[in-house]
Structure 1
Amino acid sequence: MSPAAARKARAQTKAKPVPDRDAPPTTLRQLLDNLGPSVGQIVAAPRGLDIPVGEPLIYDPLERSAVDRDSIVLAVGTPAEGQAARRVIADAAAAGAALVVFKLHEGPSATAHDAEEAGMTVLAVPGEMSWTHLFSLLTRAMPLRDEPAGGSGIAGVPMGDLFALANAIAAMVGGAVTIEDPKARVLAYSNLEGQRIDEPRQRSILGRQVPDMPGVRALYRSLAGDDSVHRFDTVEGLEIYPRLAVPVRVADETLGSIWVVEGTKRLGKDAERALLEAARVAALHMIHVRSSRDIERRMRGDLLRSLLEGRGSAESILERLGIDPRVALAVVAFELQTDALQEDLHRERLVDLVALYCEAFRRRAACVSIARTVYALLPAPRSLAEDRIETLAQEIVEHASSTLHVPIRAAIGSTVTGARMVPRARAEADRVLRVLAAGPGSPTVATIADVGSRAVLLELHEVTRDHPDLARGQVQAVVAYDAEHGTDDRTTLQAYLDAFGDIRTASARIGVHPNTFRYRLRRLVELFGIKFSDPDDRLVLGLQLRLLRYAAEPGSDRPRA
């Protein structure tokens, strides 16, 4: 944020009311009112809708995830009917969860019956909505309780409650509202009865992102020109109802935009004036939301950075991050494969995406960007198979690559126990990234176990760069002789060692007759004094040849992250 914007925001928000810590908890009814019927439909509600709801969490059926009281249990990967669904419902009911969320594609009769018997509320969401988007939506749809209302209408919206703000604007202007960030991602939307919406708005809510089309991009370009209200009756390539839109700005910084779908009655000058006023109020709310998020992220990021770098009390840092020090931990490192300019532009979005995925996967996960790498620390209970972490990393890489339009690679270190071992796990993840960068055609995601041998060779190669005397010896003499005389004794030596001394296999590998190969071996012994009968000599020769070949691969001199 620019200095002018920050000064204006502080001046306009310094007289905020004292937070009301004794406010009643959010109820399921309030949550559903914010989400709206297009996002979720109640399948069973044996305890009614006025029950308290807490934070969403991903339920892992393989490890029987711990379920908190009043939590919203997302049954990811669990069919809505059958034994697995009944087990999720039973576990949630036993833990006192508020509700279970399934993706239901057909009639929910069996699920409703199971839920009623267990006394558990069940919510159905559309199959096309991703679980990650739903997790984000549920988090944002929770009405804020720390800022009490200060009046009626738009002035009475609790500070930072963007869903309540969207409803207030919709009531004031007279049309369905979406509030978006500068990248056209939907932050919140209204849900007032009787206000019509069109298919593009519905799709943007379910998919979180406004459709990326030439006609849509043209709308946003025209909106960026000034602070006035714009009217759009048509969009190239889309069938829409007419819309009003206004940018949300503070000083010279764009915070986002507000869009209003016109109902059956045309929105006139009064609606435009109301929307301009709403944009000024929305700026304060969006600054509040972003500042709260930035402060929390910065604090957790600084703590994680200290832990990864081995600074401070590791146990104390884990406690402040809210992570049980007894649980195993995994470090996953993500890296953009792009130039420095694009890297700066995309890194913040990558941190957002990694944080969203990892926090949905493990609520107490933490993320931070260090230099060109984004690190995620994941609590990993013993019951959590390592391939689940690898699957998560693969999903993040695929989603981030398609969203940011740049290739991304991910590396996973060993799962460790104890906070003091986290720097070691980070070092392993860094090593995996360097291996992936060094080898053309490498996979986009790998664990330290996947690249174990190459990781060891990489470390040895870096040691020999610092201590070049370790590379001296018979291999160096062979390479120099080849360069001077145009021979290829190095290939002969490599083939012999790779074939474990099998002349027939080695000669076939380089395409010469076995007798010719034997002659070349005798010459190697005569010229360089190589002792093939000595196992130590064979080991050193093999290592030096491998390191020589490794040093020639692209990216082998890439600096540490």
Structure 2
Amino acid sequence: MEPGDVVARSTTILPPPNPQPRPVTLRELLGALGPHALRLVAGQRLDEPIGEPLIYGPGEPLPDVGDSIVFVTGARAGQPEALRRIAAAGGHTVVLKAWKQEIGDDHGLTLLCTPDEMAWRHLDALITTARLPGSAVNEPSGDLFSLANAIAASLGGPVTIEETTGRIMAYSNLPGQDIDPIRRLAILGRQTPERPTNAVEYQAVLTAPGPVFFESSHPDYADRLAVAVRAGHQVLGVIWVLCGRPQLVEDADRVLIDAARTTAMHLLRRRGSHDPDRTRRGEALRGLLADTLDAPAAAAALALPEATPVVVGVVRPVTQPGLHAARVADLVALHGEYWHSGAASVLDGDDLLLLLPGPASTPRLRKLGTDLATAARRSAGIALRVGFGPEVSGLDQARRSRQLAERVLLAGRPVAVLDDVRSELVLTALPDDDEALRLAPVRSVLEHDATQGTDYAATLLTYLGTFGNITATAQALNVHENTARYRVRRLTERFGIELGAGDETLVTWLQLRNACRRLQADTRRSVSDDSGRADPGA
């Protein structure tokens, strides 16, 4: 394939006309595109904003230049005169073809060079894209070019971050790291050149559980190491690293795996921030669940029939929810879209709410929750608790599903569907026992455990829960049967517990159970708060 053919394919990256450009300095532009696309030859005006590209050929009428970055086309013999005219018109930044130019006088202009094989229309597209909101230049944090440089510095070799189609999203630009002809063409065209081995290599990377090494059979081409960037089941992209230019670090595989996890979060954030449809659907879901948007209006905004069966899930980070919820928002959205194209999600306080069109079987919901929790842990080291409400008959019932999903979370399981904890929810729905109504034996057992460090409450709950089976009680408590018998006897002798008193025995069990669960919940909150204070930057 000829270099010109590779470059021509890149015209698809032209941005949509709607977003308005933002100020970008020449220094920022050079840092984003890198020296393989645009190189500084002369001039020091790097921190002044540049305008939109302007193509000018020697001998042509010169339009108003202003702060435009001027592409000088045509024969090189006419370029000196073109530079003089541009300087006289008040221009200050010029791009010429080829790396080496013999120009006697730069006329005070800032001169840049681009390779001969770089199509002018492609350079125009690159610069125009770089000046748009959300581009690598205009993202103050998390831009992929900075990330590619960080990964390259950690690995010791040049890096590209690509889509699964081979389109390059970002590439590293560090001194001392050389690239081969394949990578150079890829950077110039923002697309991996077509080669007979492309399909096989990409397929190997996308199906492998970790990094894949490719040994080059050509002396001019470098060996390569690659890894897929995943969020759960979804492949978001690929990281490629050139080996031997220079040599990679000894634990390159581990570093690359860590880099893939970080890159996944960047790609998820970029995907969500540039998706107005996802934002619109999320706001419709917020209104539906807050009862500020009726079901017909929500159905229109969500593009779902009003009578669609739906399930609402609630996703809650276990520690530092306010920080981590925002970090996993796009991960939740991605898993929802993998479930059904009509799914919607929105961040609501510390929780992420997920609307899933049915039908939704219990096993399938469990798997979705488990996959989501696993992806969050692997991609960002974040522990989640996921609860799903029941499937309801239409959007007008979605609030009920959300309310029950929040109660499912109270069961304390990492992932739970309503069917998993229905009995527990029935019991927790009982009114909290008034202190004045608490049975005297129950009060005595709880006070003794609190002051003496004993476990009589746990013993009694286990014994009653096994219907008086002392063997099962001993096994559950991990004690000898004689120890279990002794504790049960002490409960009746010391505290006056009646084990066969009908209603009183049932009330004893319920009051002990509710009291113990409140103590456990208080303990979990205390641990969570301490964790948040100890590591506020996690």
TM-score by length of 1: 0.46
TM-score by length of 2: 0.47
